[in-house]
Amino acid sequence: MDALTSAVIEGAKSIFKLSLSGIKTISKYEENICELQEEISYLRNKKILIEEEVSIAIMDGKTPKQQVTEWLRKVSRAEDAVRPLLQMLQTPDQHIDGRSFKMLQQYQQSRRVANKLEHVKELNSTYFETVAPEKSSPIKAMEEMQVSSLFGQQAASDMMKLLEILNSDDNKRIGVWGKGGIGKTTSVKNLINHLCNSSPNSFNIVIWVQVSRDLNLSMIQTQIAERLHLKVEAGDTTHSLANRILRRLKMRVEATRRKILLVLDDVWEKIDLDAVGIPSRDSCCKILLTTRSFDVCRDMSVDAPFQLNLMSEDDAWNLFVQSAGSVLYLDGIQSPARKIVASCRGLPLAIKTLGKSLRDTPQTAIWRNTYLRWRCSSPLFKNIEKEVFRPLALSYHSLPSKILQQCFLFCSLYPASFSIDVVELIQCWVSDGLIHENQTVEEAFNYGVALIEHLKDSCLLDQDGGQGTVKMHDVFRDLAILLSQNEELFGFHCQSSLPFNQMPKESSRRVSLIGCKIYRLQEYPVYSNLTVLFLQGNPIKIIPDDYFLNLKSLRVLNLSKTEITSLPSSFLCLVELRSLYLRGCFSLTKLPSLEPLCKLIVLDLSSTPIRELPEGLGSLCRLRELNLSYTRLLKKIASGSISGLSSLETLDMSFSAYNWNPKMSSCHQNATFDELLSLDRLSVLKIRLDSVDSLASASSWIKKLRKFDIQISPNDSNFDAQSNEKRLVLRGVDLLQEHLQSLLHNTTSLSLLTCEGMAQRHWLSLSSLMSLTISNCSGIRILISQEKSSHAMFPNLQHLVLDHLKNLETIVEGILSRGICLSNLKTIQVLDCPKLKGTISYAMLRHVKKLEEIKVSGCENMCRVIESGGQKKKNLPVLRVIEVKNMVKLRTICDGMWVCPVLQQIEVSHCFELKKLPISVGDSCSLKEIRGDVKWWNNLIWENHDDKSFFLKHFQAYSREDCLKRQKYK
């Protein structure tokens, strides 16, 4: 009985416990559903991350662990099991509400949810330290590159600038360009190493690709694939491999959210990055390329082109010392060594190669001989040609046409470090047939400029410091001379600036013997193919009579700055001659008849003492350019000579003594101004006229001129020719003369000196004027007055000079209505105007918002430069330079404070009453220099000591030489 009772009790307990557990399970049903939804969502996210890690592991050549693979399968099964359960529970009529199901059904459903929740939790709790074992080496984001360290301050500075460009989000494509051998690859490799050491996580991966001169997309793809551990299959096409590369790169970016850097080294032409498989339009990818050609930067749509510069003199020497070693400190070595370094002109490749070739060479004679051979473009050691010239020659061979190659070689005809005049160079190219001569002068010039720009963009030619000139780097000139020896077809022979010691080959076509100290020419040269002969700068006095007999193919002859007194009779045999240069032949007083030279297109007789133009000039019906500038003794031009030049497009007679006065000319049967009017093709004219009368019937003719520099003066005064498009200089002329009107309307640059009629002159019609100079015109009291002005006065004027105007009281009088009056003024210079008390009045200040420079000097009564008009702050947003000199009453530059955000330079001289500068520390971030007298600086008044300390850093006191010059001027 007891046993039965005990069994019944235990059974009851079990049923009770089971019932209690079921009730508890049912009661947690809603809570379990919410938790299951959260856990399965977390599991899905974890699965995505693990799958990404598996994908990257596979890309890195690894095999995922079996536990990882099994876990992913379990997760997929769990997702499949949970998904219908959750969907069923979200159906309204299936939801457990205590009425729709019986107790048992409720329990079963609740139990299923609880079991799935427990299983999902177990999967979520699984942790993998790695998803795949290290069976192969992983892909490193960055790999340190083998490269020599950067040398010199300039190189280090360039690398930091490049790093700044690379870090900018705005720059997706960066182009490092410069000459061959300048160190582009070295700089970029050092940049990568810098990133590797200082910012190893800055990029997901850095991919370095060496691009060959003969572009091969497959080779580029192969290098990228190897870097990504992507196996290239035998059947891969360029297109299929591009898709695989693209997928692999995108997976890496998505996995790490970091950018890719692709470096393309030594690019010679445009690369279609999309065809390679590079996500070039995606912000996740940055492209850094190196090239010798700026054209490549353009074609590749580079955001930030960065040009590497040549080494400084100090850096070049230090690099040479490093390469050549301690032998440089031996007696007698350093002098030729420094000459060798100087001849390399800062090109690192040449400096290092020459230094290494002479390392541990103690003989002074060898050093001197090396310099001579190097200077003569005859390398002493074979490795110089191999290591220096052969790499540089790739730039030459990559030029797209034989014409460009010949244009490059042509530049080597000029001496080392020679400033090559662009106009003359293009004239020679036209005359030699490199540019078709059946074009106008302007068309040929424009085409020539395009060729020059291409050579500059290819780093084979350099911009010279002078205007309108270019230069060839000495090493590249040596390269050109070396190449020309192999280009027999082109026939170049250059021996410029060296003592003449080698006769050109008989097959030579272009020969340059510039400045070779030739005193006597050989009697009878046999060069039947010669088209170009440069003899300028030689002390040649006599040319043998038969010298030109065998040079009948000659097209360009330059005898400038020789000492010849006449041309030989054989000169008339040069029937193919296109260009003849006799510039600066100071002993040449007369020329033979030029009638046989019927194909001549360029004749330069500038700076010669000729008194009359040669006979037969009028028969040169193909002549396009005639330069008679600085012919200060020229008195006779036979009537009909000029009108016969029916093809003439350019006539330069600036600083010539020839008198175009019609009355005087007719007396001597000379050419008159009317002959110029008959030249329908004339487009560029530089000339001096005695009076305005010659222009009486020239109004429509003047409009056709593309450029002119006309100076009208009743005496022989001349003024320096400028590069302005249309320049007019009037001296001692009445501005109210009717014949002047058409000329004034077409002028872009106007200079008025001691002219009359200034007070009555109405300026409104001069809308083309860009530059205006008024000097010594006592009749002018006001330049622009409210009564006679218009809102459209001087709309295009950019430069204004007012000089020695003793009665000028104000530049702008009264308030002008807002418009375009003076709205483009960039510079104003005021000199010695004693009645002027201010330069820029408030009325003027309202209009000159583009003003960049203000220079005022010698205005003895000027108290202030800029008048405020009661404004506390004056805004000159683009003002860069302010100069005030020799004004004893000047007390302030500007009343109150001015806002000049880009001001760079202030210069003050002999203005000792100027006690305060109208600038503050906050507005002076762009300031580079304050120049002035120490005495003036020490007497300045400052708001506080901090301001003085700040501006002291920018102060540059006048040197002793400056002070002596100013005292002399004063």
Q: If we measure between CA atoms, which residue out of 77, 67, 57 comes closest to residue 120?
A: 77
Within 13 A of 208's CA, how many CA atoms are on the CB side?
Answer: 14
Q: b/e per residue, 297-319, with b = 16+ CB within 10 A?
A: beebebbbbbebebbeeebbbbb
pLDDT at residue 201, rounded to an integer:
76
3-state secondary structure of 727: strand
pLDDT at residue 642, rounded to an integer:
92
Helix extents (H) in 90-152: 103-124
**8 Å CB contact between 622 and 598:** yes
- For 679-705, the pLDDT digits (tens) are 999 999 999 888 888 787 777 888 889
**8 Å CB contact between 636 and 614:** no
pLDDT at residue 908, rounded to an integer:
93
CA distance 764 to 756: 18
3-state secondary structure of 69: helix
pLDDT at residue 628, rounded to an integer:
96
Q: If we measure between CA atoms, which residue out of 582, 585, 544, 533 comes closest to residue 563?
A: 585
State how far the alpha carbon of 121 is from the alpha carbons of 88, 574, 632, 891, in Å.
Answer: 21, 102, 105, 85
pLDDT at residue 8, rounded to an integer:
47
- Amino acid identity, position 443: E
The per-residue DSSP string of 274-286 comes to HHHT--TTSTTEE
pLDDT at residue 95, rounded to an integer:
47
CA distance 9 to 275: 83
CA distance 954 to 961: 20
Q: If we measure between CA atoms, which residue out of 156, 154, 212, 485 comes closest to residue 347?
A: 154
Give me the sign of the Cα torsion angle 376, 378, 381, 385.
Answer: positive
At 558, list the tokens: 């330059």
**8 Å CB contact between 596 and 445:** no
CA distance 77 to 75: 5
Longest CA–CA separation in the chain, Å: 167
CA distance 128 to 75: 14
CA distance 871 to 771: 30
**8 Å CB contact between 683 and 651:** no
Count CB-CB contacts under 10 A for residue 669.
Answer: 11
Task: Spell out the residues 6+ positions from residue 753 whose beta carbon is closer than 8 angstroms to its own.
Answer: 729, 730, 731, 732, 775, 776, 777
pLDDT at residue 724, rounded to an integer:
64
- For 140-193, the pLDDT digits (tens) are 777 888 878 778 778 888 888 888 888 888 888 889 988 888 888 888 888 888
- Residues in the chain, how many? 970
Q: Is 519 exposed, middle or buried (0-12, 13-18, 19+ CB in 10 A)?
A: exposed
3-state secondary structure of 679: coil
At 325, list the tokens: 């070693």
pLDDT at residue 48, rounded to an integer:
80
Q: Tokens 């000379």, residue? A: 670
pLDDT at residue 10, rounded to an integer:
55
pLDDT at residue 135, rounded to an integer:
53
pLDDT at residue 408, rounded to an integer:
93
Enter the DSSP assignment of 148. Answer: P
Enter the DSSP assignment of 734. Answer: B
Q: If we measure between CA atoms, which residue out of 635, 630, 470, 489 comes closest to residue 560?
A: 630
pLDDT at residue 719, rounded to an integer:
54
CA distance 692 to 715: 13
**8 Å CB contact between 503 and 524:** no
Count the helices and strands in the chain (H runs, E runs).
28, 35
Q: If we measure between CA atoms, which residue out of 895, 856, 903 comes closest to residue 876?
A: 903
pLDDT at residue 597, rounded to an integer:
93
Flag residues of the chain having pLDDT under 70: 1-29, 57-62, 88-109, 133-138, 255-256, 281, 372-387, 466, 487-489, 496-501, 524, 662-668, 715-724, 759-765, 786-792, 817-819, 869-874, 896-897, 922-925, 959-970
The per-residue DSSP string of 485-507 comes to HH-TTT-EEE-TTS----PPPTT
